[in-house]
Amino acid sequence: MEKTKTINPATGEEIASYDRISAEAAKEKIAKANEVFLSWKQTSFEERAKLMHALADIFEDKKEEYALLATREMGKIIAQSESEVEKCARICRYYADNAASLLANVSVDTEASKSYVTFQPLGVLLAVMPWNFPFYQVIRFAAPALMAGNTCVLKHASNVQGCAFKLQEIIEAAGFPKGIFSNLNIDSEAVKEVIENKHIKAVTLTGSEPAGRSVASIAGENLKKTVMELGGSDAYIFLEDADLDKATDLAVFGRLQNNGQTCIAAKRFVVLEEIYEEFLEKFTEKMKAKKMGEPTDEDVFLGPMARADLRDELHEQVEKSVSQGARLVIGGEIPDEKGAYYPATILAEVTPGMEAFDNELFGPVASVIKAKDAKHAVELANNSSFGLGSGVITNDTKRGEEIALQLEAGNSFVNKLVVSDPRMPFGGIKNSGYGRELSGYGIREFTNTKSVWID
């Protein structure tokens, strides 16, 4: 039987191996999820909330264990893995406490004696999830889906199967019915058959643009609802009045968080020419100061990338950008050591047409771009096929808001890095996908918005 292996990207050593499941076994898990759905959809929000709070308790009680597993499988520094697990608990509690009100019937004033809109669960949902937030990305989907009355099957990334099976284990440990959430350890080629399964009612994917196009195409052929959260090349505009000490602190964290492997990471730094050189100097100094190394060491800020092949692809993008005219300020060389490490890297004088401007660099590489004025900065920020996150850094928040409203993205933040918050909808436009996760908008994505009329 074919196996998947999880590799510690800090050392290159194998952690564990897991058996792939057969197509028949996947069908059985989906059929079980559908069987569970028939009873689960009848449960009350109060019953579901008790289990969701129990799940949050487990995340909190075993934070260190789960964080270490995530760090070993995909390389993020341990403090950020612990934050990820804490965030899982928060999102479970948010939906436990708010799902009933978010999905409450909405009365409509018509000539009927009674008319309203209700939100009913769809059934079995397929989630195709990435490795960069191996617990949170899944819980961000599963918590609202389960609270809405749906059941779930997961196709997780091969390199984080330990996290994938752990999620199934702890959801069952919280008291949810066995089969309500199942991990399908299948390869990418098997996803098509899963989507086509009659019991799968909708699909959500977080991942690359090519993966999104493929899955959305199959789902579309089968007339199944999809939500796509794809890549990003988020632009942050730094206006001439920005506090450069605070601005560059944000820039460093925004680019190096999660070892640079975040869809909503700050990737393109659009800086007005009045402050360009000073920004670049401070930014370079702070990026240099961040220690790279073993992600379980407390003084390390930058761990390895998740896989060596991803590191090598990123390096090729850096080299291509330099050949196109970008200036390599720091980094840009593969270290001569074990592990999938890549140093904090800055490319300056980046312009449209360069790899570092036009495409997503999914790793610790910053593209610094000079803008003549605020209008030019907006044009540069919007000159992208992506539209996930964006930001404006300025001391004038009113002006910042005016510019944020001009940015072509699903999320625009002023003086703060883009984050996902369960109280706010999250998603993108253009090639960054469609649909929304989180908040009331997200939980309703996988419900039947049903009109009821009583004459």
What confidence score (pLDDT) does residue 398 get?
98
323-332 pLDDT, tens digit each: 999 999 999 9
Here the CATH number for the domain that contains residue 297 is 3.40.309.10
Mean pLDDT for 357-372 is 98
Helix axes 276-289, 244-256, angle to 10 degrees: 50
- Residues 124 and 249 occupy one common structural domain: no
Residue matched to tokens 């999880």: 6
- Residues 244 and 226 occupy one common structural domain: no
Report in angstroms the alpha-carbon separations of 24 from 63, 192, 215, 267: 35, 14, 21, 42
Phi-psi region of 386 (alpha: psi -120 to 50; beta: other; left: phi over 0): beta
What confidence score (pLDDT) does residue 359 get?
98
- Residues 256 and 212 occupy one common structural domain: no
163-199 pLDDT, tens digit each: 999 999 999 999 999 999 999 999 999 999 999 999 9
Which member of 84, 92, 263, 445 is catalytic? 263
Contact present, 382 and 357 (Cβ < 8 Å) = no
**229 in catalytic set:** yes
Mean pLDDT for 297-319 is 98
Percent of the chain with pLDDT over 70: 100
Confidence of residue 297 (pLDDT cuts 50, 70, 90): very high
Residue 164: strand, helix, or coil:
helix
What confidence score (pLDDT) does residue 1 get?
67
Phi-psi region of 447 (alpha: psi -120 to 50; beta: other; left: phi over 0): beta
Contact present, 225 and 124 (Cβ < 8 Å) = no
Percent of the chain with pLDDT over 90: 99
- Residues 76 and 172 occupy one common structural domain: yes
Tally of structural domains, the chain: 2
- Residues 151 and 297 occupy one common structural domain: no
Give a yes or no: residue 448 inside a domain: yes
| Residues 154-165 as b or e (16 or more Cβ within 10 Å = b) | bbbbbbbbbbbb
What confidence score (pLDDT) does residue 291 get?
98
Report in angstroms the alpha-carbon separations of 242 from 231, 278, 400: 28, 11, 10
Q: Which residues pair with 276 in a beta bridge?
A: none
Give a yes or no: residue 426 inside a domain: no
What confidence score (pLDDT) does residue 303 get?
98
- Residues 265 and 407 occupy one common structural domain: yes
Mean pLDDT for 394-403 is 98
CA 429/CA 229 separation, integer angstroms: 9
At residue 411, does pLDDT exceed 80? yes
CA 12/CA 296 separation, integer angstroms: 15
**92 in catalytic set:** no
Q: Residue 168 sits in which domain range? A: 3-230+432-454
Which member of 73, 82, 84, 229 is catalytic? 229
- Residues 208 and 267 occupy one common structural domain: no
What confidence score (pLDDT) does residue 173 get?
98
At residue 290, does pLDDT exceed 80? yes
Contact present, 209 and 431 (Cβ < 8 Å) = yes
Mean pLDDT for 6-25 is 97
Here the CATH number for the domain that contains residue 15 is 3.40.605.10
- Residues 189 and 291 occupy one common structural domain: no
- Residues 222 and 335 occupy one common structural domain: no
Report in angstroms the alpha-carbon separations of 29 from 33, 35, 123, 185, 280: 6, 10, 14, 11, 53
Longest Cα separation, the chain: 75
- Residues 363 and 416 occupy one common structural domain: yes
**Which of 374, 366, 128, 127 has the alpha carbon at shortest distance from 241?**
374
Give a yes or no: residue 427 inside a domain: no
Mean pLDDT for 254-279 is 98
79-96 pLDDT, tens digit each: 999 999 999 999 999 999
Averaged confidence pLDDT in the chain: 98
Residue 63 CA neighbour count, 13 Å, CB half: 17
Residue 261: strand, helix, or coil:
coil
- Residues 445 and 382 occupy one common structural domain: no
Give a yes or no: residue 184 inside a domain: yes
- Residues 208 and 239 occupy one common structural domain: no
For residue 250, which phi and psi values (nearest 5 degrees)? -60, -45
